[in-house]
């Protein structure tokens, strides 16, 4: 189930915010895959869905809520933007939107035209900032 149904929306979720209703529909498809329901009789549920969602080390399948995975995948792009200074994709984003004074985050574009995956990724910036802590080290990325 994880290698087929779980991996299908991963690429989309790494770039765009998945609507909650779609996430619930996909999770229902996964539950129905695990416990088939032919319309006449319900499938026998050997284990609770919450237990299935536990990490593998705790006896689950390592499948979590899709909305949480969506936030984690978008946060990975924010982390990469902060850490990868010389990559082409970062230079393109920085030239299109600009960067803030710390050069860790790009500026938010208020342009209403078009759909940009970076706008969806930046939607999780405030949540991401709650998990990030700065260390000064040599001071190359910290301004006073």
Q: Which stretches does DSSP call E strand in the chain?
A: none
Q: What is the pLDDT of residue 21?
A: 92
Closest by CA to 82, choosing from 11, 141, 131, is 141
pLDDT at 144 over 70: no
Q: Residue 31's pLDDT band (boundaries 50, 70, 90)? A: confident
Q: What are the b/e assignments for 92-107, b being 16+ CB within 10 Å?
A: ebeeebeeeeeebbbe
At what angle are helices 20-34 and 66-83 packed, to 10 degrees? 120
Q: Which residues make beta-bridge pairs with 42?
A: 37
Q: What is the distance between the alpha carbons of residues 52 and 60, in angstroms, rounded to a whole number?
A: 5
Q: Residue 106's pLDDT band (boundaries 50, 70, 90)? A: confident
Q: What is the pLDDT of residue 39?
A: 62
Q: pLDDT, tens digit, for every residue of 53-79?
A: 888 898 888 887 888 888 888 889 888
* Domain extent listing, the chain: 2-68, 71-129
CA torsion sign for 92, 13, 2, 72 is positive
Over the chain, what is the mean pLDDT? 78
pTM: 0.72
| Between 9 and 1, the higher pLDDT residue | 9
Q: 25-34, 94-103, 107-116 — which is least confidently predicted?
A: 107-116
């Amino acid at each position: 189930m994880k290698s087929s149904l779980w991996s299908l929306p991963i690429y989309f979720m790494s770039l765009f915010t998945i609507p909650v209703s779609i996430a619930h529909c996909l999770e229902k498809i996964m539950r129905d895959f695990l416990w088939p329901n032919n319309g006449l009789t319900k499938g026998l549920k050997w284990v609770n869905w919450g237990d299935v969602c536990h990490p593998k080390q705790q006896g689950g399948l390592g499948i979590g809520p899709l909305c949480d995975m969506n936030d984690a995948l978008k946060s990975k792009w924010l982390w990469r933007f902060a850490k990868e200074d010389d990559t082409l994709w970062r230079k393109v984003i920085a030239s299109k939107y600009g960067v803030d004074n710390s050069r860790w985050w790009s500026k938010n574009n208020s342009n209403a035209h078009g759909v940009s995956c970076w706008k969806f990724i930046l939607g999780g910036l405030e949540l991401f900032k709650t998990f990030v802590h700065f260390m000064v080290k040599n001071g190359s990325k910290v301004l006073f």
